[in-house]
A = this chain, B = another copy of it.
Amino acid sequence: MSLLAVGSIAFDSIRTPYGEEKNILGGSATYFSVAASWFTQVAIVAVVGEDFEERHQQIFHARGIDTSGLERASGRTFRWQGEYGRDMNEARTLDTQLNVFEGFQPKIPQHLVSAEFLFLGNIHPALQLHVRRQLSGAKFAAADSMNFWIANTPGELSQTLKEVDTLIINEGEAKMLSGRQNLWQAARAIQAMGPRRVVVKRGEHGVTLFNGEEVFSIPALLLEGFRDPTGAGDTFAGGFMGHLARSQDLSDANLRRAVVYGAVMASFAVEDFGLRRLLTVTRQDIEERVRQFTRLTHFDV
């Protein structure tokens, strides 16, 4: 097993201008692992409650995802309820029930400790650091974070940043973390905190990778149908790291390719609610969309 993700599993209730779904399977570990499963074998470490049923488990197994690190706790699974307005850029949270996620202490099964690619989903930075130190041999360790941890646990987050080599973060949070409005300056300031790579997720405006001194930007694919942005960021991370773990190549050219694969997977995720589109995609769909990205961005001078 070369790729491990630690994060959340949730039941989401989502309303967008294009529809509404209640209690559908979501969470960072879910979107990440389903996206990555199109590229490589992936394992998750997460916690679920008693309401997590065999049919949910089956979704992971059908994608070949290793769930030996899935802990079942008494109580209910993490639940999130949110809605998106007309511009779909930001969710308004209507309700959060942490449930079993509140006491989550990631436990890494022995056979996963040797994973070379590690994704630390958006959980408490002290837990991220704890996992990072258990997988000290991982050659590529990426973390996500969010405004809540930036504001409330800056010391722990700072320590985590010193020990990961890649931060995958939203544009607004990159600016908040660095205190800089200029994205170039924000990324350079974050690199000075530890990670040599900063991947900035910019939603409908694409993704920018700062890899050492190199910078790579890709716009978002323009989609006629765009129904639900939930999980797009973790889906991006899953495609990005799935490609890296499959290819075992950390060159700048291959990191750029990984950004494209991440963006491709995210472009599928947002076309329908929850995992629906990600579960029906085919290898041909993925390759066709890579070609669309090439057509979208190609020029020669």
Residues in chain A within 8 A of chain B (CB atoms): 86-88, 181-185, 187, 202, 204-206, 208, 214-220, 222-224, 226, 253, 256-257, 259-260, 290, 294-301
Tell me whether A86 and B181 are in contact (CB under 8 A). yes
Looking at chain A's contact residues, is the secondary structure mostly helix, strand, loop, or mixed? mixed
Q: How far is the CB of A159 from chain B (nearest CB, A)?
A: 28
CA gap between A206 and B217 in the complex, in Å? 10
Extra contacts besides A87-B181, A184-B223 (11): CB < 8 Å: A182-B226, A202-B205, A214-B295, A215-B222, A216-B296, A217-B222, A219-B219, A253-B300, A256-B298, A257-B300, A259-B299
Tell me whether B222 and A208 are in contact (CB under 8 A). yes
CA gap between A205 and B204 in the complex, in Å? 9
Please, which residue of chain B has its CB at the minimum distance from the CB of A243? B301
Q: Knowing A205-B205, A208-B222, A222-B208 touch, does A217 contact B297 (C-beta < 8 A)?
A: yes
Q: Which of A205, A290, A296 has the most CB of B within 10 A?
A: A205
Please, which residue of chain B has its CB at the minimum distance from the CB of A258? B299
Q: Knowing A185-B224, A224-B184 touch, does A299 contact B202 (C-beta < 8 A)?
A: no
List chain B residues, Cβ under 8 A from A224.
182, 184-185
List chain B residues, Cβ under 8 A from A185.
224
Q: Which of A202, A222, A260 has the most CB of B within 10 A?
A: A222
